[in-house]
Amino acid sequence: MSTSSPRKRLATVWLAGCSGCHMSFLDLDEWLLELTEQADIVYSPVGSDQKLYPKNVDIALVEGGVANEDNLELLLQVRANSQILVSFGDCAITANVPGMRNMLQGADPVLRRGYLDLADSSAQRPHAPGLIPELLDRVLPVHELVAVEMFLPGCPPSATQIRSALEALLQDQRPPLQANREIRFG
pTM of the predicted model as reported, rounded to 2 decimal places: 0.89
Task: Per residue of the chain (186 residues), give pLDDT as tens.
Answer: 445 568 999 999 999 999 999 999 999 999 999 999 999 999 999 876 778 999 999 999 999 999 999 999 999 999 999 999 999 999 999 999 999 999 999 999 999 998 999 988 888 888 888 888 999 999 999 999 999 999 999 999 999 999 999 999 999 998 876 554 545 455
Collapsed DSSP state (helix, strand, coil) of residue 63: strand
Describe the strand order of the beta sheet including 82-88 as a list of residue ranges. Answer: 39-43, 8-14, 57-63, 82-88, 150-152
β-strands 39-43, 57-63 pairing: unpaired
Residue in 172, 100, 108 with CA at minimum distance from that of residue 139:
100
- Closest among 96, 77, 89, 98 to 145, alpha carbons compared: 77
Query: What sign results for the dihedral spanned by CA atoms 160, 61, 52, 64?
Result: negative
Of 7, 11, 61, 13, the residue nearest 34 (C-alpha)? 7
DSSP annotation of 159 reads: H
What are the structural domains of the chain?
8-102+134-170 (3.40.50.700)
pLDDT at 2: 45
